[in-house]
Amino acid sequence: MTFSDDEQSRIIEMAWEDRTPFEAIEQQFGLDESDVINFMRRQLKPASFKRWRARVSGRNTKHRSLRSPDVSRGYCPTQYKQR
């Protein structure tokens, strides 16, 4: 898949966010967890990728199946500033 610069930036942002599950990225961009990992490996510097992997590995909030069932969003509507 080919993504615009804005889409690439948003995927990276969502992957770094603690409360955005991989399933939300898949729903919005069609990338499952392994695709996101490969995408991040290509986009980040090696040290940044290792830091990201350490951060998200085993994190309950990155996996919808480990979260409470009432969380289905990919972002917080109050998170973004009005432009």
pLDDT, one tens digit per residue, over 63-75 is: 766 555 555 555 5
Q: Which two tokens stand for residue 73?
A: 């969003």
Residue-level pLDDT at 83? 45
Q: Is residue 32 assigned to a domain? A: yes
Q: Is residue 79 assigned to a domain? A: no
CA–CA gap between residue 53 and residue 9 (Å, rounded) = 18
Q: Which two tokens stand for residue 47?
A: 């040290």
Q: Is residue 40 assigned to a domain? A: yes
What is the number of structural domains in the chain?
1
Q: Is residue 53 assigned to a domain? A: yes
Q: Is residue 59 assigned to a domain? A: yes
Among 49, 65, 45, 64, CA closest to 16: 49
Q: Is residue 70 assigned to a domain? A: no
Q: Which two tokens stand for residue 23?
A: 């399933």
Q: Is residue 72 assigned to a domain? A: no
Q: Is residue 74 assigned to a domain? A: no
Q: How far apart are the first and last CA of the chain?
A: 29
Q: For residue 38, what are the domain limits?
A: 5-65
**Model confidence, pTM:** 0.75
